[in-house]
Structure 1
Amino acid sequence: MKLLAGLAVLICSTLSYAQTTVIHNIQGYSPTLEGALSTFNVLVFKDGKVVKTGEKDIIKEFPQATKIDGKGHTLLPGLIDAHGHVIGLGNNLLRLDVRGIKSVSAIGEKLRDYAKQAPKGWVIGRGWDQTLWPDKQFPTAKQLDQYVSDRPVVLTRVDGHAIWVNSKAMALAGIDARTKAPAGGEIIRSSDGLPSGVFIDKAEQLIKSHIPPSTTEQRQLALNKAGQHLLSLGITSTHDAGIDYATWQLYQQRAEQHTLPVRIYAMLSASDERLLPMLKHGVIKEKADFLSIRSVKIYADGALGSRGAALLADYHDREGHTGLMLETQAQLESLLKQSFTHGYSAHTHAIGDKANRIVLDSYEHIFKTVGGKLLRNRIEHAQIVHPDDIPRFKTLNIIPSMQPIHATSDMHMAEQRLDEQQLRGAYAWQTFLKQGSKIAAGSDYPVELANPFYGLHAAVTRMSRDNEPEQGWRAQEKLNKEQALRAFTIDAAYAAFQEHKLGSLEKGKWADFILIDKDYFNIDASDIDDIQVLQTWLAGNLAYQQ
């Protein structure tokens, strides 16, 4: 594969902008603003924007155009990931990755090998998931100490809602038996009452606050690495779910330099101590639509895998435990009010049914007292929703921003964590669509792999990549292929106020598109996850080629 260098130069190239380009001999598909799926064999673009789509007879309308033979490949709009973490992805590609490893010992061996060649100081990694291990129990610091004991080690759980550290990290952070977890966090303790080495949600900061901050150079490298990776997967635009002040500055700098590798719609992190100065700066909207910052990411609860998602009833596999609310309703309402009064939308993380209800209550109350209902506010994840609360998304104009791959990654674990009653409103994509809600689909990378075709496969089949279970998990919530594509294109654009610029190949919109090796609409649904991206075009310029 090959990433084309000098993307900024390409984007600004007067030659390519002045020249009309025709791509023909393609099987093109695009959703439309009106709702119908458009099909075409020719795409015409100029100045980075779509001029026309149609059949091969329109080629003669553009005799002076540069003509490109699509060689019969399928062409789709550039895909939009409506929920990811760009710098986190870049860091993941540069740091220790233990995703999918099925034992503590195998992780330890990989950690030991990585630490030998990693720079001195803290060893950082991500991806462990105790539900994949034989005993399915949370790990301990002592287990990590067997492999690396002379340097602090911090490994983030795959969902980003827990960390596993060694004894050196706890010693440097001053953690001992007297250390108490902050509200919204939990310290997992061993039978003797000592911290075991796992810290959940807000307790993570007891350790993380001691990790040296990333340098500007490290952030630049992470952004570049993530951008290259996303382009190779056919993602031309991504929503970055919670950026800090340093990233806010970096994105503006790169937008001014015309060097952002992909389009970014960024949400300010509500937990950043400099949230107010960022809000006071005002909405940011770059004219070439490479950067938009007009929303705040708020965090209501934790994740299901670490039993941090806030539930109305006890966890099925942990009696007396209902998860963690990271903010009270009063705190949530204060953050909503602060966002709306500065003209920002609010996108709130809520996974459990209790968290979703409290967040909906908070939106409803603030809409009545402050306003903000028309700001295309979102609930990020909306994984476990009580059936009584699903209609409230529509009445309150709340967009469910959901990650289809979570359902197939979580299905076995979810059935352990939750009983049938709790699962009635779980990952309920079709139910949301039937009531008229728009779903903004994403992956939550690096929690999950960023490949959007894994997400499209999960959305259409409700199966794992091994195509299990046979009929799909809770199959009544499957999406059809067109619904799934809309969720990853024009409806994701709608959720960012960008549906008139991005998300479909209609006249006047940016010519962001991809060529793929299989016909998405005419292959078996079970093969969607095998689709490969051949080319990615951004603003009418070739940005990636396999």
Structure 2
Amino acid sequence: MGRSLDRRRFLQGSASAAAGVAIAGTLPAEAAAAGPGGRGRGPADLIIHNGEVLVLDERFRTADAVAIRDGVVVGVGRGKDMRRFAGRGTQTLDAGGGTVLPGINDSHLHLGGFGLDYPPFTIEVDTATIGELVEAVRTAAAGAASGAWIRGQGWNDNRLPRPPRRTDLDPVSGDHPVILTDFSGHAVAVNSAVLRLAGITRDTEPPTGGVIEKDADGEPTGVLRETAAGLVRRLVPPFTEDEVSSAIDNAVGVLHTLGITSVTDPGIGLDRLALYARKARSGGLGVRLNVLLSAGGSPDALRGVLAGYEPLRGVDPRMLRVAGVKIFGDGIPTAARTAWLHEPYLDGSNGSLTIDGDTVEEQVANLHEQIRIAHDAGLQVGTHATGDATIDAVVAGYLAAMRRNRRRRDPRHYVIHGDLTPRETLRKMARNGIGVNMNATIKYLLGRTLDPVLGPERTNYQWPYRSALDLGVQVSSASDAPVTFPSWLQGVQSAVLREGKFGGVAGEAERITLEEALATYTRTPGWQDHADRWKGTLRPGNVADVCIVDGDVLGVDPHELIDLPIAATVLGGRVVHDAKAGGSKNTIVNAAASGRRHDRSVACLQGGRCCCDLAV
């Protein structure tokens, strides 16, 4: 890769690859070459050839070569026709017969959280048993300085027999405060030292939308969910800016190895935005970053955020853009049972909104006011909403804001997660240009484990990809990393098969096609980002963000998608990952490859089954 192009050798090599590609759906070179600038502005800087190029436009056209100049696609078509772009200084990248796609857009990924979710910052507590989790904490405490905080990430009470409790952690933690965040980020488990520091007792009332779990004697167990987790999170010493910066760089390096070139980071603060801006100005960001500022839990909180926000200066908006705000609507419909539902969970409980307010009516009114404030400010709104009652309240708020202020055209507000969106609500969303951002990798992780929580019917429906697409909703897919490892191939596999990590099919009726699943990671996130005119497809004139898969994505058994390696990643015409260059020194890459981050790792999965000897 990266060699100077010998025109004759290139044309000879591409001729055999081009043979027989003139089939229905193949992109004619004449149409492809008509991008801005076309010919007459010098040769291409880079030509990617000898692959099956998926343009990922709405017609799902294919080609076998892409020409790039000045970071932009200038030609797509048959290899033999790419000679018009070849010159003495043109470089060539041989796709090796693999699949060439637009750069992947993970449209809901917590970039800093993903980087900080690995050693040396955080210990792994995604275990099959409480005993294994306790041993991980014991080992960390033994090696830590006196009084240092122990941070952990990944416990999953859909997998464990129960959440870890203070009575598990106290005997092995010594003088260390311990805080362990669950896989979803919606709950923490802490030891007694942390409860004392926070002043949490049997009499402590949780904040709105929060849960302080208690034992049979009425004492706190150490498990705090949703807003209640904030009672202890505010006590944890923050990572330094250098630590955060290093973690972000590591995370971006991992994204490159996965073919990911664009990310939406949802719910960040102004300090994180300032760090991103510094990296963008210095050319060190490394990924196209679309961000949503955290709206806080009330209208006043959002007003404060907007008062402190200053539009970015000296930053390429195609590398870093503030799209709008993220509102946090409710919890999650897992064993935590914190999503707000129209019909309660099987045990009779229900979740609630996490917006400030003394009554449901006040909470809904504050939610709608937050949406109105952001909409009137010209901002896009993405709202975390998983339960059907929350989703309905959010969509009603979007529609009210859009009808009240019609000067704000095409805002592209969207529902984040949208687990249990009712069909009638999907129709409203489609009619009014409201999108949804779903999570096929989380669907894979949960599978049928929620049958005892939601019941089989709702478990099958959760993340209704087929229903949403059939009704005309713009559907994007995302990993929600660090909730799951950002493997888009895992997500495509899950959306197509609906098979769970621990067995079973959860919602055969909601399966979608491979082509549709690929679009949810490329073209539709471009729509969500208000960037569909310049990224998300390999049309001429679009930015040259490219993912090359070493294998036949369209032809392989979907069970084997996860095994296909990423051969190369190109960002703005520049190769940022080349698998032929050798192994990675990146902590996260090596952690994933080792299988330590089992639920987040892609390397330990073969044919949808785990090759690691882990108890379930």
Q: 1:454 to 1:99 in 2, by over 3 A?
A: farther
On the 8 A contact 1:465/1:529 being kept in 2, the answer is: no
Q: Residue 296 of structure 1 is aligned with which of 325, 332, 336?
A: 325
Cα separation, 1, equivalents of 2:241 and 2:122: 20
User: 5+ unaligned residues in a row in structure 2: which ranges?
Assistant: 1-41, 356-362, 580-616
Residue identity matched to 1:38: R
- For residue 365 of structure 1, report the CA deviation from its aligned partner: 2.1
Q: 1:389 to 1:275 in 2, by over 3 A?
A: closer
- For residue 465 of structure 1, report the CA deviation from its aligned partner: 5.0
Cα separation, 1, equivalents of 2:528 and 2:207: 33
Q: 1:49 to 1:506 in 2, by over 3 A?
A: same
Cα separation, 2, equivalents of 1:249 and 1:422: 41
Cα separation, 2, equivalents of 1:112 and 1:50: 53
Give the secondary structure class of the aligned counterpart of 1:178. Answer: coil
- For residue 282 of structure 1, report the CA deviation from its aligned partner: 5.6
Q: Encode CA deviations 1:254-295: one digit per residue, 9 max, x unaligned.
A: 111111021111110112897546535465594361111121
Confirm whether residue 122 of structure 1 aligns to residue 149 of structure 2.
yes
- For residue 496 of structure 1, report the CA deviation from its aligned partner: 0.7
Confirm whether residue 478 of structure 1 aligns to residue 511 of structure 2.
yes
Give the secondary structure class of the aligned counterpart of 1:388. Answer: helix
Q: 1:500 to 1:380 in 2, by over 3 A?
A: same
Q: 1:373 to 1:325 in 2, by over 3 A?
A: farther
Q: Which moved more, 1:376-385 or 1:265-274?
A: 265-274
Cα separation, 2, equivalents of 1:412 and 1:107: 24
Aligned to 2:470: 434
On the 8 A contact 2:116/2:122 being kept in 1, the answer is: no
User: How high is the TM-score relative to the length of structure 2?
Assistant: 0.81
Cα separation, 2, equivalents of 1:22 and 1:97: 43
- For residue 366 of structure 1, report the CA deviation from its aligned partner: 2.2
Correspondence list, 1:26-41, <5 A? 26-32=51-57, 35-41=58-64
Cα separation, 1, equivalents of 2:144 and 2:285: 28
Q: Encode CA deviations 1:50-100: one digit per residue, 9 max, x unaligned.
A: 010111212321341223333222211111111110000000023334354
Aligned to 1:12: none
On the 8 A contact 1:238/1:265 being kept in 2, the answer is: yes
Residue identity matched to 2:159: L
Cα separation, 2, equivalents of 1:102 and 1:442: 25
Aligned to 2:380: 345
Aligned to 2:537: 504
Aligned to 1:43: 66
Cα separation, 1, equivalents of 2:310 and 2:452: 45
Q: Encode CA deviations 1:176-207: one digit per residue, 9 max, x unaligned.
A: 12211011101000111111100010001111
On the 8 A contact 1:18/1:47 being kept in 2, the answer is: no
On the 8 A contact 1:440/1:487 being kept in 2, the answer is: yes
Give the secondary structure class of the aligned counterpart of 2:479. Answer: coil
Residue identity matched to 1:311: L
Q: Residue 325 of structure 1 is aligned with which of 325, 337, 353?
A: 353
- For residue 342 of structure 1, report the CA deviation from its aligned partner: 1.6
Residue identity matched to 1:322: N
Aligned to 2:566: 533
Residue identity matched to 1:387: R
RMSD over equivalenced CA pairs, Å: 2.0
Confirm whether residue 178 of structure 1 aligns to residue 208 of structure 2.
no
Give the secondary structure class of the aligned counterpart of 2:81. Answer: helix
Q: Which moved more, 1:388-397 or 1:322-331?
A: 388-397
Cα separation, 1, equivalents of 2:240 and 2:301: 18
- For residue 374 of structure 1, report the CA deviation from its aligned partner: 2.0
Aligned to 1:522: 555
- For residue 18 of structure 1, report the CA deviation from its aligned partner: 8.4
Correspondence list, 1:112-511, <5 A? 112-118=138-144, 121-133=148-160, 136-271=161-296, 275-276=302-303, 278-280=305-307, 281=309, 284=312, 286-287=315-316, 289-305=318-334, 306-316=336-346, 318-319=347-348, 321-327=349-355, 328-371=363-406, 372=408, 374-420=410-456, 422-423=458-459, 425-464=461-500, 468-469=503-504, 472-511=505-544
On the 8 A contact 2:386/2:418 being kept in 1, the answer is: yes
- For residue 142 of structure 1, report the CA deviation from its aligned partner: 1.1
Cα separation, 1, equivalents of 2:293 and 2:566: 31
User: How high is the TM-score relative to the length of structure 1?
Assistant: 0.91
Cα separation, 2, equivalents of 1:368 and 1:294: 21
Q: Which moved more, 1:356-365 or 1:477-486?
A: 356-365
Give the secondary structure class of the aligned counterpart of 1:40. Answer: strand
- For residue 112 of structure 1, report the CA deviation from its aligned partner: 1.9
Structure 1 consecutive aligned stretches of length 4 or more whose deviation exceeds 6 Å = none
- For residue 379 of structure 1, report the CA deviation from its aligned partner: 0.3
Cα separation, 2, equivalents of 1:288 and 1:269: 20
Residue identity matched to 1:380: I
Residue identity matched to 1:309: A
Q: Encode CA deviations 1:144-163: one digit per residue, 9 max, x unaligned.
A: 11221311111111111110
On the 8 A contact 1:310/1:324 being kept in 2, the answer is: yes
On the 8 A contact 2:447/2:499 being kept in 1, the answer is: no
User: 5+ unaligned residues in a row in structure 1: which ranges?
Assistant: 1-16
Q: Encode CA deviations 1:2-40: one digit per residue, 9 max, x unaligned.
A: xxxxxxxxxxxxxxx9862212212211211xx111211
- For residue 309 of structure 1, report the CA deviation from its aligned partner: 0.8
Confirm whether residue 102 of structure 1 aligns to residue 131 of structure 2.
no
Give the secondary structure class of the aligned counterpart of 1:537. Answer: strand
Aligned to 1:545: 578
Work out which of the two has the higher radius of gyration on C-alpha atoms and give 1 or 2.
Answer: 2
Residue identity matched to 2:562: D
Cα separation, 2, equivalents of 1:218 and 1:274: 28
- For residue 314 of structure 1, report the CA deviation from its aligned partner: 1.6
On the 8 A contact 2:72/2:544 being kept in 1, the answer is: yes
Aligned to 1:88: 113
Q: 1:61 to 1:184 in 2, by over 3 A?
A: same
Cα separation, 1, equivalents of 2:112 and 2:227: 20
Q: 1:117 to 1:228 in 2, by over 3 A?
A: farther
On the 8 A contact 2:118/2:124 being kept in 1, the answer is: no
Residue identity matched to 2:182: R
Q: 1:161 to 1:513 in 2, by over 3 A?
A: same
Q: 1:450 to 1:406 in 2, by over 3 A?
A: same
Q: Indicate the structure whose relative CO is greater, using CA pairs within 8 Å and at least 6 residues apart.
A: 1
Residue identity matched to 2:81: I
Q: Encode CA deviations 1:496-535: one digit per residue, 9 max, x unaligned.
A: 1011121111111111112211110010111111121111
Cα separation, 1, equivalents of 2:139 and 2:562: 32
Q: 1:540 to 1:200 in 2, by over 3 A?
A: same
Cα separation, 1, equivalents of 2:86 and 2:411: 45
Cα separation, 1, equivalents of 2:62 and 2:52: 7
Confirm whether residue 78 of structure 1 aligns to residue 103 of structure 2.
yes
Cα separation, 2, equivalents of 1:84 and 1:19: 33
Q: 1:446 to 1:191 in 2, by over 3 A?
A: same
Q: 1:23 to 1:222 in 2, by over 3 A?
A: same
Give the secondary structure class of the aligned counterpart of 1:130. Answer: coil
Residue identity matched to 2:550: D
